Structure 1
Amino acid sequence: MEPLLPQMDGRGRPWRDHRQVVNGLLWRLRTRAPWRDLPERYGPWQTVYERFARWEADSTWAKLLEHVQVRDDAVGRVEWTVAVDSTVNGAHQHAAGARKRGGHGRGRTGRSGPLADAPALGRSRGGLTTKVHLAVDGRGLPLSMVLTPGNVNDATAFAEVLDKIRTPRAGTGRPRTTPDRVLGDKAYSSRAIRHLLRRRGIAATIPERRDQVANRRRRGRLGGRPPAFDKEIYRDCNVVERCFARLKQFRAIATRFDKLADRYRAGVVLASLILWLREAAR
């Protein structure tokens, strides 16, 4: 990682050692402790937090994750049968209170429309929640992620999750943005999603909902033929659930404490980077 990290330009005080700071970030990500409770062996907590925030703002964490994805894709290790799903994570009361800078316009995250709400917090019977939408490759490693309030329907975020799959080539050529196949559960069974995948030339393995089956049968010939569905291929859809289980071993991911969605998303990116590095070390 070190050659890919930002380097000093020779001005100002020397930076604290990158390894010490990154170890402090991983300790906090694993334990879910408040920043102020960071052990002294990792240096001042303000330094660790500011480095984390600075590298989130300049996309350093995202670039590191992209680098390992490019490296694996170059040697053919990325499996392009992609599974999509979401998980709802509870948000602590400390996560509330951030100002909404996005609304229905364009927020700090660069999104526009109803998903541009910067805090990415939703209120339901379970309290405040954040939903993490993931697309993972056939090994269960994250390729793209989107945060929404916890009460947002999975199908609403599908197009954005698909659009964020972007793996540059190691040499020349356009980045790869199109999976060979997409696996999803019944939450993604909609005419709009199937049409989107068909238009992009992506095979779909998504089971029909019971009400859709009944409606098609009720209409007879006008209902059309059922969409193709392979039960054997669908069994691989659980790789995304296993990915969520591994990410939630980082307790700061399992429960959100960050006020800003950008900070929380950076934690998910860092945890995803660790999963990719572990896989590469096998």
Structure 2
Amino acid sequence: MRLTDKQWEQIQGLVPDGPVRSDGKGRPWRDKREVLEGILWIVKTGARWRDLPKEYPPYQTCHRRFQQWVEDGTFDKLIEALAKDLQERGGIDMSECFIDGTFSLAKKGGFFVGKTKRGKGSKIMAITDAGGVVLSVRIESASPHEVTLVEKTLDDRFVEEMPERLIGDKAYDSDELDERLADMGIEMIAPHRTNRVRQKTQDGRKLRRYKRRWKVERFFAWLFNYRRCIVRHENKEQNFKAIVLLACMMIFLKSYFHL
């Protein structure tokens, strides 16, 4: 998967160069753009590392550099910088945000993998802004209920500002969650579950915002265009999250920066 010159210009300063020995000896590192493009090919196609085409650097090199960039937080810095840039240009609206989770099958198991009726897998939690810009992603076991993961997903947001309102489906209908978020200055809006026992408290006028929840669902549709996100192959949770962040990076560059 090739980056355009404009896309590379946007991110190249955030991708670290390889170390250079003071004595000038040793084999020079492969070009970081070529390596990143090789990694992105894996993210886009969902193929195994060993199937990386020969037009890219050796798969061992790409995988080794991928691990190094995971460990030094390069991918987190990339997505945070893109989000900050977009926010400074007025491209993020925190007045209403949308939260949801989706399932990624994990055949090999690993950290943050849990059993469900659909099999073993991980849950990808995401928050988008009023326009559908992704603001947070978090990897969790598929077993816990989504209502227990809201605060953790907020903690992983790419921007410092908190949402004014958080809108979710019936899974987020919880008086306890409403109270916890209210203490954080966030209003939770979700339709009531059909089996709700306590008195209904939701204002129907506010629920009109729920009609726009398709924006977070659209994000997941975009995310799954990057096939490595559909099925989790990585044993380590941080590696799988890096795959998801790289997909988010490309969504930023294509959808929000129009590059």
Pick aligned residue for 2:120 from 119, 128, 139: 128
Q: Tell me how far apart the structure 1 counterparts of residues 36 and 18 of structure 2 sit (CA, whole Å).
A: 16
CA distance in 1, matches of 2:72, 2:62: 16
Shift of 1:234: 1.0
Number of the residue aligned with 1:242: 218
Q: Which amino acid aligns with 1:121?
A: V
Structure 2 residue aligned with 1:188: 172
Partner of 1:116: none
Matches within 5 A, 1:182-221: 182-212=166-196, 215-216=197-198
Tell me the distance in 1 between the aligned counterparts of 2:203 and 2:243: 38
What is the DSSP-based 3-state SS (H/G/I as helix, E as strand, rest coil) of the residue aligned with 2:149?
Answer: helix
Alignment TM-score, normalising by the size of structure 1: 0.81
How far apart, CA to CA, are the structure 1 residues paired with 2:139 and 2:32?
28
- Larger mean Cα displacement after TM superposition, 261-270 or 3-12: 3-12
Whole-angstrom distance in 2 between the partners of 1:192 and 1:239? 26
Identity within the alignment, %: 31
Count the aligned residue pairs. Answer: 242
| Contact kept in structure 1, 2:17 and 2:32, CA below 8 Å | no
1:281 corresponding residue in structure 2: 258
Tell me, in whole angstroms, the C-alpha distance in 2 between the residues paired with 1:138 and 1:240. 9
Deviation at 1:166, TM superposition (A): 4.6
Kindly indicate whether residue 128 of structure 2 is the aligned counterpart of residue 85 of structure 1: no
The code of the aligned residue for 1:190 comes to S
Worse-matched range after superposition: 141-150 or 184-193: 141-150
Structure 2 SS opposite 1:48:
helix
Alignment RMSD: 1.6
SS across alignment from 2:90: coil
Give the whole-Å Cα distance in 1 for the aligned partners of 2:63 and 2:17.
18
Deviates more, 1:269-278 or 1:135-144: 135-144
Rounded Cα–Cα distance in structure 1 between residues aligned with 2:144 and 2:248: 23
Contact 1:141–1:275 (CA<8 Å) still a contact in 2? no
Question: Aligned in 2, Cα 1:23/1:166: closer, same or farther, shift over 3 Å?
Answer: closer
Report the secondary structure of 2:55's partner residue. helix
TM-score by length of 2: 0.88
Q: Does 1:226 align with 2:236?
A: no
* Equivalent residue number for residue 6 of structure 2: none
Q: Which residue of 1 aligns with 2:3?
A: none
Report how far residue 25 of structure 1 moved.
1.0
Out of 152, 156, 166, which is 1:164 matched to? 156
Q: 1:88 to 1:34 in 2, by over 3 A?
A: same
Q: How far apart, in 2, do the equivalents of 1:253 and 1:140 lie?
A: 19
Instruction: State the alpha-carbon separation in 2 of the partners of residues 253 and 163 from structure 1.
Output: 21
**Contact (CA 8 Å) 2:166, 2:187: kept in 1 or not?**
yes
Match of 2:31 in 1: 17
Verify the 8 A CA contact 2:190 2:207 in the aligned structure 1.
no
Show structure 2 runs of 5+ residues with no match. Answer: 1-10
Task: Name which of 42, 47, 64 aligns with 1:28.
Answer: 42
| Contact 1:20–1:43 (CA under 8 A) maintained in structure 2 | yes
Counterpart for residue 105 of structure 1? none
Question: Of the candidates 8, 11, 36, which is equivalent to residue 18 of structure 2?
Answer: 8
Give, in angstroms, the shift of residue 179 of structure 1. 0.7
